[in-house]
Amino acid sequence: MPKLAAVTGWPLTYTRSPILHSYWCERYRIKGLYLRLPLAPENFERGVRALQALGFAGLNVTIPHKETAFALVDQRGLSAQRAGSVNTLIFEADGQIRGECTDGVGYVDSLREAGVELPRKTLVLGAGGASRAVCASLLDAGCSLTLANRTRTRADNLIAALGGGAVTDWQSWSERLGEFDLLVNTTSLGMAGQDGYDWVGSLTHADPELVVSDIVYMPLETPLLAAARAHGLIGVDGLGMLIHQARPGFKAWFGTYPDADPVLRARVVETLD
């Protein structure tokens, strides 16, 4: 019988996770299946318990279930505790469910793959769930951290929860950009259907050595990354984070820690056009 894992969320319109895990099963000759299983919020816990009972090794969890998964699990890894959310469920042999958050480490690994050395003076835009995981891992990597969010209180609360970093007003972050050498966008600005923000103007005060990173991968070149290119800045897209965050889960479920190779990236890129 093949080893079984899946991704769940609601909806699951854009997920590319099955491409990653199916590729790795093929490459490493593992008898495994990785499925796409949408679960509505009201069915999430029952669905997880049913999949565990059916012999699944675990699940990836995406929007809107990450906080619910955090509350559901029996054990939380340090990454999940720091992020306040869970994106990877591991069904243990003793019947317990372990929760991890691999988003932050996946993000940091994607920077290193792109040749970006850490630590850096970092400005992060956004204070949602994805931001917390990213910020926690950047702090753990030794980066200094400043956070800007359209709702100031959310940024203040996140910095307090992380125990490190500072907050700047959303209206003034672009004027301070020359103080930083890494800019990270974790907001939905720039996603498909979210165009209109003046990214070119916002980068006017950037240092020439600034690295600009966007965790969005649809589109692959977001308006922010296009603006960075127009200013002659280094840009890092969000696809690397997607690939690297998937690797620890694959290891837990299928027993092999997979590589993030160019062939896999190309396969995903083909589906983004």
Active site residues: 66
Q: Would you call 146 helix, strand, or coil by DSSP?
A: strand
Could you tell me which residues are beta bridge partners of residue 125? 148, 185
- Residue 123 DSSP symbol: E
CA nearest to 137, candidates 82, 218, 71, 89: 82
What letter represents residue 43's amino acid?
A: N
What the block records as the tokens of 61 is: 């969890």
Distance CA 126, CA 268 (A): 26
Is-cis flag, bond preceding 41, omega within 30? no
Q: Would you call 160 helix, strand, or coil by DSSP?
A: helix
Burial label for 63, CB within 10 Å (0-12, 13-18, 19+), is middle
Rounded to the nearest 10 degrees, the angle between the axes of helix 239-254 and helix 262-270 is 110
